[in-house]
């Protein structure tokens, strides 16, 4: 109070000072007496003070009027452009005043709204509710706000929130104020949220994987039915247990998973989980961090029990091991069977060759039949041997440039007699091309394809031709044989796969398997097209070479000289047959049943070459024989190993030791050529 009083006194003193200053600038008026002068001076000062006060009051009034106008304008703008529509209704419910937001919301001009009944804009379904609110407020009661549909000028409807109040301050009594809020978008958003929540709930409840929602502290907030099933707990039990109660902390992968989850906000991998009763099971787990909208760090966990999958994987691994054991057993069986069959077959082949010069003309048909039988057996064993070599990985391609015409001519000369005997035409349309691959392996592929074509063709013929297709050069073998069903064309390249009722009378069933494996070894493509009863076309890719670098073939030396041959074989039939054949060729043969027996039989005189069977008695091998003879008679002594074994491991071992190997049954001409070649290089 004292502060205000001092402030007022200072203002009056300042006003007095201003009046004194203004009077000082005014010329003095002559007065008859001194007292009169003083009185006049006071009157003049007071007059000036009053005038100054009046000016201040006038300026204040002007400022107040301007402020009122600005406030009124500001209020009008706020009223007009408020985000909420405002209406003033009379006691009869007619619109007395409406802001711009209301006219925009209803889509009707303001002048058309004035004096219109507001209930005309309320949808029929909400009319009674509006009338109840209107009457309640008009009576001075407090009505509850409503959500109603209003009809717009174009006939459409909009959902709004109405709040109605009686305004007791109005000059016109009984008027009501109505606030209108457009909630159509909000309702749409709420509907979308409800639909999204329903969709989420459906996905959550019906997910085939277990789903857990956890809070920032690791508590389980929700678990879907699948989660309750695989863990064996109810939703409430999982809430009590929390995340730590279902994850096996002893699993060493948990630490890594926790670090990744914290640093990157996600994790995907396998962990061990714990179910009811302490049951531990492997699971595939995926975690993802998200915010719940309140800034809290939440986690969703997808869990899949992979116990069954692991059991199936274990069964598959076991089945694979059993299949590998069966495959190894098959290889061992084939190797043993091949070896056991080759022993008498080798002897029989040698005897048949010796008999050729001792059989009368009447017995030659029998000799021809015997030779044919030997040929079939030899083909089967040769196919087994070739397949074993390919599976063992001991075949190394020797790629050279060679003229294709010579290979085709050689093949035609081999297969022409068989084709002629069946009355088939065997044609070749050859181009002067140079190939670049292993000529021996490539010739074996083509030989198998041509032999198969002749074997499965009874009428018509076989055509061998070159053609360009898909930007590559191919050798194609066409036949008019029995053909192959469309769904069987891939099966014919499997081992021992033969199609047809009489298939077992037509080869070993290994020819096309050898074609497939050899083509794969050479990196060549192959294909087959066929129509049942119309014939087939087998094709092999032909890599083109450079004709200027064609390799020349060096023929073996044709001259033969008598050799002193050290021969070891524990099979008397084979040993005697080989001895008889080699002696018939003019050689001196020192034969024995074992290495020690050979050492005694040689009598200290070195042979020109050592020839030994691989498998001997008492665990002795041909390697042992060769090593012993070379140790006593010279490390450079030529040696040749004969075997009927097709075991892939054994074949690799032979190749690694650099031993020349011939497989049974032996062809005498082939054996003679190797004997001459090995002893000639040792001179």
Question: What phi and psi, each to the nearest 5 degrees, are found at residue 210?
Answer: -75, 135
Instruction: Provide the pLDDT for residue 554.
Output: 40
Alpha helices in 81-171 (DSSP H): 100-106, 110-113, 127-138
Residue 6's pLDDT band (boundaries 50, 70, 90)? Answer: low
Question: Which of 274, 295, 293 has its CA nearest to residue 283?
Answer: 274
| 188: pLDDT strictly greater than 80 | yes
Q: Both ends of the chain: CA-CA distance in Å?
A: 142
DSSP 303-347: EEE-HHHHHHHHHHHHHHHHHHHHHHHHHHHHHHHHHHHHHHHHH
Q: How far is CA 479 from the centre of its chain?
A: 42
| 585: pLDDT strictly greater than 70 | yes
Instruction: Provide the pLDDT for residue 607.
Output: 92
**Which of 423 and 375 is assigned the larger pLDDT?**
423
Q: Kindly provide the b/e burial profile for residues 398-428, where b requires at least 16 CB atoms within 10 angstroms of the residue's own CB.
A: ebbbbbbeebbeebbeebeeebeeeebebeb
d(CA 72, CA 60): 18
Mean pLDDT within 255-270: 88
Both tokens of residue 467? 């053609």
DSSP 551-605: PPP-PPP------EEEEE-S-HHHHHHHHHHHHHTT-EEEEESSHHHHHHHHTTP
Residue 619's pLDDT band (boundaries 50, 70, 90)? Answer: confident
* pLDDT one-digit tens code per residue, 266-322: 889 999 999 999 999 999 999 998 888 777 889 999 999 999 999 999 999 998 888
Q: Which residues lie below 8 Å from residue 215, measured CB to CB, with a gap of 6+?
A: 221, 296, 298
d(CA 596, CA 615): 15
Residue 531's pLDDT band (boundaries 50, 70, 90)? Answer: confident
598 touches 566 (CB < 8 A): yes
561 touches 609 (CB < 8 A): no
| 519: pLDDT strictly greater than 90 | no
Distances (CA, A) of 682 to 409, 636, 640, 679: 34, 8, 13, 5
Question: Which of 477, 488, 482 has its CA nearest to residue 451?
Answer: 477
**Which of 379 and 662 is assigned the larger pLDDT?**
662
Q: Which residues lie below 8 Å from residue 632, measured CB to CB, with a gap of 6+?
A: 599
Q: Which helix (H) or strand (E) holds 213?
A: strand 210-214
Beta strands in 393-520 (DSSP E): 400-403, 425-429, 434-437, 461-469, 472-479
Question: Which of 569, 562, 584, 508 has its CA nearest to residue 350?
Answer: 584
d(CA 452, CA 611): 35
> Which one-letter DSSP state was computed for residue 279?
-
| 8: pLDDT strictly greater than 60 | no
d(CA 611, CA 622): 8
Among the residue ranges 111-115, 149-153, 234-238, the one predicted with the least confidence is 111-115
**Which of 573 and 85 is assigned the larger pLDDT?**
85
Instruction: Provide the pLDDT for residue 197.
Output: 86
d(CA 547, CA 563): 41
The reply to whether omega before 665 is within 30° of 0 (cis) is: yes
Instruction: Provide the pLDDT for residue 3.
Output: 53
456 touches 484 (CB < 8 A): no
Tell me what the pLDDT averaged over the chain comes to: 79
Among the residue ranges 129-143, 535-549, 564-578, 659-673, the one predicted with the least confidence is 659-673
Q: How far is CA 103 from the centre of its chain?
A: 61
Mean pLDDT within 664-679: 76
Instruction: Provide the pLDDT for residue 210.
Output: 92
Instruction: Provide the pLDDT for residue 556.
Output: 36
Helices 364-392, 648-656: inter-axial angle, 10-degree rounding: 80
* pLDDT one-digit tens code per residue, 19-76: 666 666 555 555 454 567 667 777 777 777 777 777 777 777 777 776 677 766 676 6
Question: Which of 525, 517, 341 has its CA nearest to residue 444?
Answer: 517
| 392: pLDDT strictly greater than 70 | no
| 255: pLDDT strictly greater than 70 | yes
Both tokens of residue 632? 């006593």
445 touches 519 (CB < 8 A): yes
524 touches 540 (CB < 8 A): yes
Q: Is beta strand 564-568 parallel, antiparallel or unpaired with respect to 535-541?
A: unpaired
d(CA 123, CA 527): 78
| 5: pLDDT strictly greater than 90 | no
Both tokens of residue 3? 């502060």
Instruction: Provide the pLDDT for residue 31.
Output: 47
| 558: pLDDT strictly greater than 70 | no
**Which of 339 and 544 is assigned the larger pLDDT?**
544
Task: Identify the CATH class of 207-305.
Answer: alpha beta
Burial of residue 322 (number of CB atoms within 10 Å: 0-12, 13-18, 19+): exposed
Instruction: Provide the pLDDT for residue 490.
Output: 67
> Which one-letter DSSP state was computed for residue 32?
S
Both tokens of residue 370? 């015997």
* pLDDT one-digit tens code per residue, 413-471: 677 778 888 888 888 877 678 888 888 788 888 888 888 888 889 888 899 888 887 77
Residue 189's pLDDT band (boundaries 50, 70, 90)? Answer: confident
Distances (CA, A) of 512 to 62, 526, 528, 607, 680: 115, 11, 11, 43, 38
| 383: pLDDT strictly greater than 70 | no
Instruction: Provide the pLDDT for residue 305.
Output: 92
Among the residue ranges 199-203, 268-272, 492-496, 589-593, the one predicted with the least confidence is 492-496
Rg (CA), the chain: 56
* pLDDT one-digit tens code per residue, 89-115: 988 889 988 988 888 888 888 888 888
Alpha helices in 97-166 (DSSP H): 100-106, 110-113, 127-138
Instruction: Provide the pLDDT for residue 525.
Output: 87
Both tokens of residue 144? 């509850």
Could you please state the CATH topology (level 3) that the domain comprising 84-188 is classified under. Answer: Beta-Lactamase (3.30.450)
Q: How many CA atoms lie within 13 A of 159 on its CB side?
A: 8
Mean pLDDT within 481-490: 73
Q: Which CATH number fits domain 395-549: 3.30.565.10, 2.70.98.20, 3.40.50.880, 2.60.40.10?
A: 3.30.565.10
Mean pLDDT within 483-498: 64
Q: Kindly provide the b/e burial profile for residues 617-648, where b requires at least 16 CB atoms within 10 angstroms of the residue's own CB.
A: eeebbbbebbebbbeebeeebbbbbbbbbbbb
Residue 487's pLDDT band (boundaries 50, 70, 90)? Answer: low
| 506: pLDDT strictly greater than 50 | no
Q: What percent of the chain has pLDDT over 70?
A: 76
Instruction: Provide the pLDDT for residue 568.
Output: 93
pTM exceeds cut of 0.75: no
Residue 501's pLDDT band (boundaries 50, 70, 90)? Answer: very low
Q: Which helix (H) or strand (E) holds 609?
A: strand 609-613
| 557: pLDDT strictly greater than 50 | no
**Which of 401 and 556 is assigned the larger pLDDT?**
401
| 7: pLDDT strictly greater than 60 | no
Just give the CATH number of 564-681: 3.40.50.2300
Among the residue ranges 225-229, 374-378, 423-427, 484-488, the one predicted with the least confidence is 374-378
Among the residue ranges 261-265, 289-293, 311-315, 336-340, the one predicted with the least confidence is 336-340
Maximum pairwise Cα distance, the chain: 195
Q: How many CA atoms lie within 13 A of 223 on its CB side?
A: 24
d(CA 251, CA 271): 7
510 touches 579 (CB < 8 A): no
Residue 659's pLDDT band (boundaries 50, 70, 90)? Answer: low
d(CA 633, CA 662): 23
Question: What is the arrangement of strands in the sheet containing 210-214, beginning at the earlier edge strand?
Answer: 220-223, 210-214, 297-305, 280-291, 266-274
Both tokens of residue 59? 């300026």
Among the residue ranges 31-45, 163-177, 294-308, 349-363, the one predicted with the least confidence is 31-45
Alpha helices in 25-108 (DSSP H): 34-80, 100-106
Instruction: Provide the pLDDT for residue 528.
Output: 86
Mean pLDDT within 121-138: 91
240 touches 233 (CB < 8 A): no
């Amino acid at each position: 109070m004292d502060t205000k009083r001092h402030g007022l006194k200072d203002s009056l003193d300042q006003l007095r000072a201003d009046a004194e200053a203004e009077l000082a600038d005014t010329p003095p008026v002559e007065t008859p007496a001194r007292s009169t002068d003083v009185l006049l001076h006071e009157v003049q000062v007071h007059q000036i003070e009053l005038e100054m006060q009046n000016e201040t009051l006038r300026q204040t009034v002007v400022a107040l009027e301007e402020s009122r106008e600005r406030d009124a304008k500001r209020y009008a703008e706020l009223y007009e452009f408020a985000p909420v529509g405002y209406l003033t209704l009379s006691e009869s419910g007619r619109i007395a005043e409406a802001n711009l937001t209301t006219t925009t919301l209803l889509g009707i001009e303001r002048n058309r709204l004035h004096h219109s009944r507001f209930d005309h804009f309320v949808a029929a379904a909400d009319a009674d509710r509006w009338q109840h609110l209107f009457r309640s407020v008009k009576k001075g009661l407090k009505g509850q706000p409503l959500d109603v549909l209003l009809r717009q000028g174009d006939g459409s409807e909009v959902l709004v929130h109405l709040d109605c109040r009686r305004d007791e301050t109005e000059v016109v009594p009984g008027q009501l104020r109505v606030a209108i809020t457009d909630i159509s978008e909000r309702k749409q958003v709420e509907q979308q949220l409800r639909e999204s929540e329903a969709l989420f709930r459906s996905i959550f409840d019906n997910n085939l994987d277990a789903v857990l929602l956890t809070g920032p502290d690791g508590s389980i907030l929700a678990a879907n039915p699948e989660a309750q099933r695989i863990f064996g707990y109810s939703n409430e039990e999982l809430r009590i247990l929390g995340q730590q109660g279902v994850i096996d902390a002893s699993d060493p992968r948990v630490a890594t998973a926790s670090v990744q989850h914290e640093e990157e906000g996600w994790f995907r991998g396998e962990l061990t989980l714990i179910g009811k009763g302490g049951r531990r099971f492997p699971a595939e787990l995926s975690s993802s961090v998200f915010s719940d909208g309140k800034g809290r760090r939440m986690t969703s966990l997808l869990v899949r029990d992979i116990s069954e999958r692991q059991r199936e994987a274990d069964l598959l691994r076991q089945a694979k091991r059993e299949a590998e054991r069966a495959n190894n057993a098959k290889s061992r069986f084939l190797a043993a069977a091949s070896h056991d069959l080759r022993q008498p077959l080798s002897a029989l082949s040698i005897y048949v060759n010796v008999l050729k010069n001792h059989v009368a003309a009447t017995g030659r048909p029998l000799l021809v039949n015997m030779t044919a039988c030997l040929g079939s057996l030899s083909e089967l064993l040769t196919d087994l041997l070739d397949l074993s070599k390919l599976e063992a990985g001991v075949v190394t391609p020797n790629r050279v440039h060679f003229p294709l015409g010579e290979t085709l001519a050689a093949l035609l000369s081999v297969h022409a007699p068989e084709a002629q005997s069946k009355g088939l035409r065997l044609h070749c349309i050859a181009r002067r091309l140079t190939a670049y691959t292993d000529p021996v392996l490539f010739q074996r592929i083509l030989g198998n394809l041509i032999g198969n074509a002749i074997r499965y063709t009874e009428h018509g013929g076989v055509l061998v031709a070159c053609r360009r297709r898909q930007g590559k050069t191919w050798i194609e073998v066409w036949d008019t044989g029995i053909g192959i069903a469309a769904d069987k064309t891939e099966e014919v390249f499997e081992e021992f796969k033969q199609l047809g009722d009489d298939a077992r009378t037509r080869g070993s069933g290994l020819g096309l398997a050898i074609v497939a494996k050899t083509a794969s070894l050479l990196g060549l493509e192959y294909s087959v097209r066929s129509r049942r009863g119309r014939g087939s076309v087998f094709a092999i890719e032909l890599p083109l070479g450079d004709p200027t670098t064609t390799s020349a073939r060096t023929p073996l030396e044709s001259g033969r000289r008598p050799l002193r041959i050290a021969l070891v074989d524990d099979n008397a039939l084979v040993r005697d047959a080989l001895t008889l054949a080699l002696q018939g060729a003019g050689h001196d043969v020192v034969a024995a049943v074992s290495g020690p027996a050979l050492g005694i039989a040689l009598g200290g005189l070195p042979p020109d070459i050592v020839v030994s069977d691989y498998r001997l008695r008492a665990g002795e091998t041909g390697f042992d024989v060769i090593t012993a003879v070379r140790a006593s008679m010279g490390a450079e002594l030529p040696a040749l190993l004969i075997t009927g074994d097709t075991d892939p491991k054994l074949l690799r071992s032979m190749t690694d030791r650099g031993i020349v190997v011939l497989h049974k049954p032996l062809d005498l001409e082939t054996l003679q050529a190797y004997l001459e070649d090995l002893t000639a290089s040792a001179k």
